[in-house]
């Protein structure tokens, strides 16, 4: 085997949708990874995807993909309800896994994946790409340096006006649709990054639409010591999608959260400081680079997106859905 500095991990792509395409397109901007194979439930679609992105291998089943001996890591970009099964099959085939958010539909599913990854000694991570974007990394740096003093409040939102499609993934309960698991996980994960994944108290409200999923929600999370988060999400209502972090000495502002391209620091009595990045591509390369680095270093989890935090977030989402009495048909 070549040494770590020259070796690249070979990615297998599970799923051929828009997110999978964006991820593969961004892999060319990494230093330690390359797209090698794709798997789809339809062989023709896999072949089209492979031709479009010049991949050596295309498979008409996920099973064949995960058993390709050349593949080091599987990127899972399938619908929410299939994440646990797809990730489990990948781990059992000896593959590292990067699984799109939400990691799973509920915490029980995620616990089983973490247990298997630990037993198999394989890398496993939730694809919360937001965490690795340069502006978010800079926000964490500002917070660690205490630039805005003691953080007291996080206000974050992500809302979109999706098309009315009851059979589509955003509104279909059979596909674990709704705002919370899709767009809502971004503000929830962001608050977890700052305050931790286990708030002391949770208050929530949601509008459950005619298809039986949450079209809009609001959360208030209390972390004690005057620390709280106000979070909002929607799939049938456009938001400005701004984020604020308020501290005792100033605040931080992000014009957008999930694909943050800039962040501005406002410290009392000082000139505002804005950080922007000139990324190539959409920005998925940053999380892919992290995964490659962890795998090549022999790590089982990323210190920036550890298992315990993903599990804490899933448990929080479970509790919120329990408050709404929202359960998916397959649970």
325 assigned to active site: no
Strands 201-208 and 250-254: unpaired
What is residue 71's three-state secondary structure? coil
d(CA 157, CA 257): 8
Phi-psi region of 235 (alpha: psi -120 to 50; beta: other; left: phi over 0): alpha
> 231 has which bridge partners?
156, 219
Instruction: Please state, in angstroms and rounded to a whole number, the distance separating the CA atoms of residues 289 and 274.
Output: 25
Cβ neighbour number for residue 170 with a 10 Å cutoff: 22
Is residue 97 within a helix (H) or strand (E), and if so which, with residue range?
Answer: strand 96-100
- Backbone φ and ψ for 60, nearest 5 degrees, come out as -90, 15
Q: Which three-class secondary structure string do you get for 190-257? A: HHHHHHCCCCCEEEEEEEECCCCCEEEEEEEEEEECCEEEEEEEECECCCCCCEEEEECCEEEEECCC
Bridge partners, residue 216, by sequence: 207, 234
Counting DSSP H helices and E strands in the chain, the numbers are 10, 14
Among residues 95, 101, 282, 325, the one annotated as catalytic is: 101
Contact 101, 127 (CB under 8 A): yes
CA distance 220 to 229: 6
The residues carrying an active-site annotation are 101
């Amino acid at each position: 085997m070549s040494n770590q500095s020259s070796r690249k991990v070979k990615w297998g792509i599970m799923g051929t949708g828009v997110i999978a395409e964006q991820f593969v397109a961004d892999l060319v901007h990494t230093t330690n990874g390359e797209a090698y194979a794709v798997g789809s439930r339809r062989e023709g679609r896999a072949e089209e995807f492979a031709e479009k992105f010049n991949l050596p291998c295309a498979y008409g089943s996920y099973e064949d993909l995960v058993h390709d001996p050349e593949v080091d890591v599987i990127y899972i970009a399938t619908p929410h309800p299939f994440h646990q099964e797809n990730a489990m099959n990948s781990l059992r085939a000896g593959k590292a896994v990067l699984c799109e958010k939400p990691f799973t539909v509920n915490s029980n599913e995620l616990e089983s994946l973490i247990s298997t990854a630990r037993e198999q000694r394989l890398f496993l991570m939730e694809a919360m790409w937001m965490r690795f974007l340069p502006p978010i990394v800079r926000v964490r740096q500002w917070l660690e340096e205490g630039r805005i003093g003691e953080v007291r409040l996080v206000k974050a939102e992500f809302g979109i006006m999706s098309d009315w499609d009851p059979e589509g993934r955003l509104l279909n309960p059979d596909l674990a649709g709704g705002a919370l698991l899709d767009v809502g996980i971004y503000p929830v994960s962001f608050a977890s990054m700052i305050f931790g994944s286990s708030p002391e108290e949770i208050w929530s409200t949601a509008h459950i639409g005619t298809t039986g999923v949450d079209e809009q929600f609001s959360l208030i999370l209390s972390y004690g010591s005057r620390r709280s988060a106000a979070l909002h999400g929607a799939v049938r209502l456009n938001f400005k999608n701004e984020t604020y972090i308020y501290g005792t000495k100033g605040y931080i502002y992000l014009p957008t959260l999930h694909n943050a391209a800039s962040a501005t620091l406002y410290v009392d009595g000082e000139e505002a400081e804005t950080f922007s990045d000139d990324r190539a591509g959409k920005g998925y390369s940053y999380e892919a680079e992290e995964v490659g680095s962890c795998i090549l270093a022999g790590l089982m989890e990323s210190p920036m997106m550890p298992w315990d935090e993903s599990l804490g977030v899933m448990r929080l989402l479970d509790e919120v859905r329990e408050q709404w009495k929202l359960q998916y048909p397959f649970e």
